[in-house]
Amino acid sequence: MTRLVLVLGDQLSPDLSALAKADRSRDVVVMAEVADEATYVQHHPKKIALIFAAMRKFAATLREDGWQVRYCALDDPANAGSIPGELLRRAEETGATEVIATRPGEWRLIGLLDEMPLKVRQLEDTRFIASTRDFEDWAEGRRALRMEYFYRDMRRKTGLLMDGDQPTGGQWNYDHDNRKPAPGSIDTGGPMQFTPDAVVEEVLDLVEARFGNSFGDLRPFHFATDPGQARRALAHFIRHALPKFGDYQDAMLNDHRFLYHALISPYLNIGLLSPLEVCQAAEAAYRAGDAPLNAAEGFIRQIIGWREYVRGIYFLEGPEYTRRNALNHQRGLPWLYWGGETRMNCLSKAVQQTREDGYAHHIQRLMVTGNFALLAGVNPSEVHDWYLRVYVDAFEWVEAPNVVGMSQFADGGVIASKPYVSSGAYINRMSDYCKSCHYKVSRKSGEGACPFNLLYWHFLDRHRDRFEGNARMGNMYRTWDRMDADHRKTVLREAGVFLDRLGAGEAV
């Protein structure tokens, strides 16, 4: 009996568990570009283009490998518009009554597959190093789920940067050597870019016609859209940027959007690269003497540590996680996140880059756009919605824990032991943004004071009950309490005025 094998747009890996369980001589692969997936949030047009182009190329590869593939393009008149609809249509065509799927990376789609009138087997997504079960076992009985301990287990499990049972170099983590302030100049030309071929051009025209009005520039489009290109992009990063990845991981520069970052998250997340091959390439560069240990270890930690850890949290915490709001923040997302005018240079640069590239690096996401939303008390579900919409690498399993947990503290501290908030001083230390800003980062209050300086203390003051007892935050409260009482009043008043103006939709 023929079975259907579902391959989603972020499951483009030849070793996908659903394909491994299927039989290419009798089963039929179903792939579909569908309106429901393309519109459940208004994705960045570059993200839709990347997924559709990579899906089309993956379908061609599967056919070459002997699979029977029923592929439905978005503009096919027969398109049922949703994944369940397409499965039902193909079941009717083929007489199949059973679907083999790899569990999707989002509760929404898992639920839709569960409710189908066909038998759907949702298999573990084995493209991750830790299964959801492994993570549950690790989390069981622990009071705090700190990434660092999980990461050490992943090092032991993979053998990456291990010498016997000891971490290479004697330490698990070399962060004390990392995170230097922004360098004066950058000696890498940025990520590898690919000229669109005929398949990509056709998709770009389709996406332009259907989604051209969404936030985000579709063109120029330079992403890799098949595994061969993605591997070249990885090799380019390892050679040209990895050596300084650790040093400048947290730096931000007006004129250098990518610094020493890899720009491989979209490729990892849709299956063009595997986490293990990426980490093995970084370790090989270290072993060959081409990259220092702090860089290789820092990079590998992001992938087998953070990436695996946030996925574990997403599935452990359940479908309600995205609705958490531990700090009861209720403000609407300010218009400046959609490109509305702002004189804050750091935010303006991060949003502009996001619109143009569908990309901003980690510290821009965490300490600029995320920090500001948290300080301003924006409703975390609106923040979550924004991040899911604007980044090419955004899939809920990875986006939600980073936004709801790490960046907005809306999970009450499951991921972060304290909120990631900072005044303008941090942004000034790590970037050159403040030099060309309308506001003065050195001003704590009064005309032209940096809004981050005002909002930082406003945040701490309004959440005093919750955070004063936090061992990592006591110093901040002591500093605040030592300030002159009139200065404190002025700061709080000015922060309040700023927030009122923000709420009224004024350009700030």
- Does 9 interact with ligand DLZ (rule: CB under 6 A)? yes
Instruction: Tell me whether residue 433 or residue 459 sits nearer to ligand SF4 (CB atom).
Output: 433
Block residue for tokens 């980044």: 391
The Cα 263–Cα 393 span in angstroms is 9
- Does 393 interact with ligand DLZ (rule: CB under 6 A)? no
- Taking alpha carbons only, the member of 388, 449, 78, 395 closest to residue 216 is 388
Number of helices and strands in the chain (H, E): 24, 7
Instruction: Tell me whether residue 72 or residue 344 sits nearer to ligand FAD (CB atom).
Output: 344
- Taking alpha carbons only, the member of 26, 6, 97, 123 closest to residue 66 is 26
Instruction: Tell me whether residue 389 or residue 458 sits nearer to ligand FAD (CB atom).
Output: 389
- Find the binder of ligand SF4 among 367, 434, 473, 476 (CB under 6 A): 434
User: Which of ligand FAD, ligand DLZ, ligand SF4, none binds 104 (CB below 5-8 Å, type-dependent)?
Assistant: ligand DLZ
Q: Are 63 and 16 in contact (CB under 8 A)?
A: no
Q: Parallel, antiparallel, or unpaired: how do β-strands 68-72 and 28-32 relate? A: parallel
Stretch that binds ligand DLZ, among 36-44, 223-231, 325-333, 345-353 (CB under 6 A): 36-44
Q: For 368, list phi and psi in degrees, rounded to 5.
A: -110, -75
Amino acid identity, residue 36? D
- Find the binder of ligand FAD among 46, 236, 361, 463 (CB under 6 A): 361
- Find the binder of ligand DLZ among 71, 260, 267, 395 (CB under 6 A): 395
Block residue for tokens 């332009």: 208
The Cα 117–Cα 98 span in angstroms is 10
Element (H, E) at 201: helix 198-211
Smallest distance from the beta carbon of 7 to ligand DLZ, in angstroms?
Answer: 7
- Find the binder of ligand FAD among 67, 135, 306, 314 (CB under 6 A): 306
Q: What is the largest CA-CA distance in the chain?
A: 79
- Find the binder of ligand SF4 among 105, 271, 298, 451 (CB under 6 A): 451
- Does 34 interact with ligand DLZ (rule: CB under 6 A)? yes
User: Which of ligand FAD, ligand DLZ, ligand SF4, none binds 427 (CB below 5-8 Å, type-dependent)?
Assistant: ligand SF4
- Does 62 interact with ligand FAD (rule: CB under 6 A)? no
Smallest distance from the beta carbon of 201 to ligand DLZ, in angstroms?
Answer: 19
Can you state the percent helix, strand and coil of the chain, rounding each to 5? 50, 5, 40
- Find the binder of ligand SF4 among 450, 454, 476, 508 (CB under 6 A): 450
The Cα 342–Cα 319 span in angstroms is 35
- Does 9 interact with ligand FAD (rule: CB under 6 A)? no
Helix (H, G, I), strand (E, B) or coil at 249: coil
Stretch that binds ligand FAD, among 258-266, 321-329, 427-435, 458-466 (CB under 6 A): 258-266
Question: Half-sphere exposure (CA, 13 Å, Cβ side) for 304?
Answer: 28
Q: At what angle do helices 227-240 and 275-287 cross, to 10 degrees?
A: 30
Smallest distance from the beta carbon of 257 to ligand FAD, in angstroms?
Answer: 10
Block residue for tokens 């491994």: 20
- Does 10 interact with ligand DLZ (rule: CB under 6 A)? yes
- Find the binder of ligand DLZ among 12, 16, 32, 404 (CB under 6 A): 32
Q: Are 152 and 46 in contact (CB under 8 A)?
A: no
Smallest distance from the beta carbon of 287 to ligand DLZ, in angstroms?
Answer: 34
- Does 381 interact with ligand FAD (rule: CB under 6 A)? no
Stretch that binds ligand SF4, among 47-55, 79-87, 149-157, 437-445 (CB under 6 A): 437-445
Cis bond upstream, residue 220 (ω within 30)? yes
Instruction: Tell me whether residue 257 or residue 458 sits nearer to ligand FAD (CB atom).
Output: 257
Smallest distance from the beta carbon of 73 to ligand FAD, in angstroms?
Answer: 26
Block residue for tokens 């009985």: 141
The Cα 86–Cα 8 span in angstroms is 12
Instruction: Tell me whether residue 252 or residue 278 sits nearer to ligand SF4 (CB atom).
Output: 252
User: Which of ligand DLZ, ligand FAD, ligand SF4, none binds 21 (CB below 5-8 Å, type-dependent)?
Assistant: none
- List binders of ligand SF4 among 327-356 (CB under 6 A): 344-346
Amino acid identity, residue 119? K
- Does 33 interact with ligand DLZ (rule: CB under 6 A)? yes
Smallest distance from the beta carbon of 132 to ligand FAD, in angstroms?
Answer: 16
Pinpoint the alpha helices (H) of 65-169.
Answer: 83-94, 107-114, 132-139, 147-158
Q: For 265, list phi and psi in degrees, rounded to 5.
A: -60, -40
- Taking alpha carbons only, the member of 367, 361, 333 closest to residue 347 is 367
CB closest to ligand DLZ, residue no = 9
The residue ranges that bind ligand FAD (CB under 6 A) are: 261-265, 268-269, 299, 302-303, 306-307, 310, 361-362, 365-366, 370, 387, 391, 393-394, 398-399, 402-403, 406-407
Q: Which residues bind ligand DLZ (CB under 6 A)?
A: 8-10, 32-34, 37-38, 43, 48, 51, 104-106, 109, 395
